[in-house]
């Protein structure tokens, strides 16, 4: 495999995918998405692999979408939105169980990546947030999935206030399954993976596909269109420009 910013390790029937794009805090760049796609495909082809773990290096699991080179023309907007949502959908549809071992900061697209996995185990140092409204955007995939996981009111609060929450609060509201000491994170994820792969593989696959059976319908088409339109608003242009220039955005009031 030609992986540039994701490390792939196979251990005891588990594929461990570690994002290593430190200069952008593991932001979901084109390269990270491509590497994760390649790694997931390899893990699914390998009969010795029964489960996957996705994690990050150093202080961040994934700090969000990489908008450093974003362009506002219609073709670029449509491609960016569809690529991101299709990638997250691919993670959900991976037939083998996927555990997110969240090691640190998990924002925006990073939180969306985590919830596209089947189970989230969090380090005590992890923080979760959806800060897109700070720059005039919305978390397109999280808007679809978060209410199902943590309830409508809490999903609205997280998305509207953009305030990050701690690992302990994430556990309390059901966003994560378990919070562990930071130095035990990968061992805990491996322990969970070993419990899962000790069960009948076809039963595990059916459990996943049955619980996910109503996903990937009209809601994704809605996300493609609505988020794509939002990217072309003046507020989004101002928010993204301000983010790049490291200043506070000035949004127009209606």
- Quick: pLDDT tens for 37-61: 999 999 999 999 999 999 999 899 9
- Quick: pLDDT tens for 110-127: 999 999 999 999 999 999
Banded pLDDT at 74 (limits 50, 70, 90): low
Predicted pLDDT at 124? 98
Residue 222 maps to a domain: no
Instruction: Please determine, for residue 244, whether its predicted confidence score (pLDDT) is greater than 70.
Output: yes
Choosing from 132, 169, 218, 219, the catalytic residue is 132
Instruction: Please determine, for residue 254, whether its predicted confidence score (pLDDT) is greater than 60.
Output: no
Is residue 132 annotated as a catalytic residue, yes or no?
Answer: yes
Choosing from 112, 163, 205, 238, the catalytic residue is 112
CATH number at residue 99: 3.90.226.10
Distance CA 54, CA 40 (A): 10
Q: How many domains does the chain have?
A: 1
Residues 6+ apart with CB under 8 A from 15: 8, 9, 39, 42, 43, 46, 49, 51, 52, 53
Banded pLDDT at 207 (limits 50, 70, 90): very high
Residue 50 maps to a domain: yes
Domain assignment of residue 51, given as a range: 6-183
**What are the Cα distances from residue 154, in Å, to 88, 133, 140, 225?**
22, 16, 16, 24
Mean pLDDT over each residue of the chain, to the nearest integer: 91
Residue 212 maps to a domain: no
User: Which tokens go with 151?
Assistant: 């309830």
């Amino acid at each position: 495999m030609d992986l540039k910013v994701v490390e792939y390790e196979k251990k005891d029937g588990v594929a461990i995918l570690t994002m290593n794009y430190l200069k952008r805090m593991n932001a979901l760049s084109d390269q990270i998405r491509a590497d994760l796609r390649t790694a997931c495909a390899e893990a699914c082809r390998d009969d010795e692999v029964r489960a996957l773990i996705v994690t990050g290096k150093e202080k961040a699991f994934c700090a969000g979408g990489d908008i450093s080179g974003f362009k506002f023309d219609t073709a670029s907007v449509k491609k960016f939105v569809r690529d991101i949502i299709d990638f997250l959908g691919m993670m959900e549809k991976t037939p083998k169980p996927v555990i997110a071992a969240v090691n640190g900061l998990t924002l925006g697209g990073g939180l969306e990546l985590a919830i596209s996995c089947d189970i989230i185990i969090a380090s005590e140092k992890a923080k979760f947030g959806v800060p897109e409204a700070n720059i005039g955007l919305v978390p397109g995939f999280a808007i679809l999935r978060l209410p199902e996981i943590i309830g409508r009111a809490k999903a609205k609060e997280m998305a509207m206030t953009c305030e990050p929450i701690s690992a302990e609060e994430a556990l309390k509201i059901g966003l994560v399954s378990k919070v562990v000491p930071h130095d035990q994170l990968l061992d805990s994820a491996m322990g969970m993976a070993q419990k899962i792969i000790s069960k009948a593989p076809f039963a595990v696959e059916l459990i996943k596909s049955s619980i996910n059976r109503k996903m990937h319908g009209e809601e994704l088409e809605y996300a493609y269109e609505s988020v794509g339109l939002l990217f072309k608003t003046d507020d989004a242009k101002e928010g993204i420009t301000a983010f790049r220039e490291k200043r506070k955005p000035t949004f127009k009031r209606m």
